[in-house]
Amino acid sequence: MQEKNPFFNKLKIYKNTFDKITSNNGKDWVLAFIWIIILQLISSILEYEYLDIGKSYIFHMEESVYKELLISAIFVIFIWYCICSFIFMHRKQFITLALYGSVCIYLAITHDLTFNLLLHNLNPFEIGIDGFGFYMISQLILKFIIIYLFIKILISIKNKKLMN
């Protein structure tokens, strides 16, 4: 039975497209997991930029040769992975490239080499409320998407068990 309201039809099309991009319609739990990590990195960057408490979780390393070697190794691996992804053109490699790129952006903005802020922010039910504004709205949207992706992970694991 077809919905007669065009708004609901469009909403259903958007949901199906979102499901295909984020979890391959509940079939690929790794894809959903990668998207959760990417969204958590974005959420951590927002917390770092908009809340002062976000800066307290970060352990700042002093400028040293070790820090420079670590950053250059990450950069070289990123460039190598970009070239391999473009040469072989695999879809999953592009998603992993997006994950790797967002980790590099996270490190460049927050300087959090220990990932303490990210580990603090992994709880999808924790929202640092600092008044009603851009930060709270964006965090709520990101947290709802992350919870939805957790549900998709559980569905895909259940589907894999049923197929075996």
Residue with tokens 């592009």: 94
User: What's the confidence (pLDDT) of residue 112?
Assistant: 81
pLDDT per residue as tens digits for the range 21-31: 888 887 888 88
Residue 1 has pLDDT above 50, yes or no: no
Point out the least confidently predicted range of 21-30, 72-81, 137-146.
72-81
Residue 6 has pLDDT above 60, yes or no: yes
Query: What pTM value is reported for the model?
Result: 0.75
User: What's the confidence (pLDDT) of residue 124?
Assistant: 65
